[in-house]
Amino acid sequence: MLKLVAALIAVCLLALPSVAATAVERSSRISPIPDDLWRSMQGVSWHDDVPGCGRGRCKCPRRGELVLLSIPYVDFEGKEKTGRMVVHRDVAAEVLAIFEDLHRQKYPINSIRLIDDFHGDDDASMAANNTSAFNCRLVPGSAALSMHSQGRAVDINPVQNPFIWRGTVRPPSGASFDGKAERIKRKPGVITAGDGVTTAFSKRGWKWGGDWFSMKDYQHFFRGVR
């Protein structure tokens, strides 16, 4: 009898780490887009006709193709937070698994808020160092839909991981993190090749804008249509 009790105690002790790990998984959630959010998305992050695109040429995903994620994360002060993100349903489980990896790594994230909180303005979201995903819009200066338009792209900590092209840095506050020498110092929130963030995405088939040659988009991760 004593041997049985001892064995049960040992099993329980071994299970403690996994119980702690699954606490984050339990608080991660995939939900349909609620009515109030869908209403607030109209003409902001979702459009019948995307501004700047010819009528009927650019289509946003249907409501049923999008889902709302609840994502636990650790902020730059080490505090536990929960954010919201809209993505395509086909990548929802992958995105949650990726952010669960980042949470286990204690990778700091400034905020995870819907782009609708910034009136669909990508520049405003980046300036606020906000991590976001779905926004049905054109690539700036083009007539092509952004990868974010399909809910298959995520931008993480834009200030520490700016977009750089032909001397332009977006957001401008990311200029302190735009050079190789600055990025190699591995300051909190900075994403570098082969680190825990890029690994969490790449092992699930996602690509990174930091690998591009003609430009660098260190904040940007994307998944092609399978």
Give the C-alpha distances (Å, rounded to integers) separating 130 from 18, 22, 59, 114, 186.
Answer: 30, 26, 25, 9, 19
User: Does a structural domain hold residue 144?
Assistant: yes
Token code pair at residue 71:
């994502």
Q: Which residues, other chains included, contact 8 with Cβ-Cβ below 8 Å and sequence gap of 6+?
A: none
- The pTM for the full model equals 0.86
Residue 40 covered by a domain: yes
| DSSP-derived 3-state class of residue 205 | coil
Residues written for the chain = 226
CA dihedral over 113, 117, 120, 126, signed as positive or negative: negative
User: Distance between CA atoms of 122 and 133, rounded to whole angstroms?
Assistant: 10
> Is 10 inside a domain boundary?
no
In which domain, by residue range, is 189 found? Answer: 22-222
Local structure of 195: helix, strand or coil: coil
Q: With respect to residue 95, please indicate whether it lies within any of the assigned structural domains.
A: yes
Residue 96 lies in a domain: yes
CB-CB contact of 138 with 59 (8 Å) = no
Does residue 187 belong to any structural domain of this protein? yes
Within-domain flag for 89: yes
**Total domains present in the chain:** 1
pLDDT in tens, the chain (226 residues): 544 444 444 444 344 444 444 566 658 999 999 999 999 999 999 998 888 886 657 899 999 999 999 999 999 999 999 999 999 999 999 999 999 999 999 999 999 999 999 999 999 999 999 999 999 998 887 777 889 999 999 999 999 999 999 889 999 999 999 888 878 777 899 999 999 999 999 999 999 999 999 899 999 999 986 5
Which residue intervals of the chain are DSSP H helices?
2-27, 35-41, 92-105, 122-127, 180-183, 196-202
Tell whether 7 is covered by a domain. Answer: no
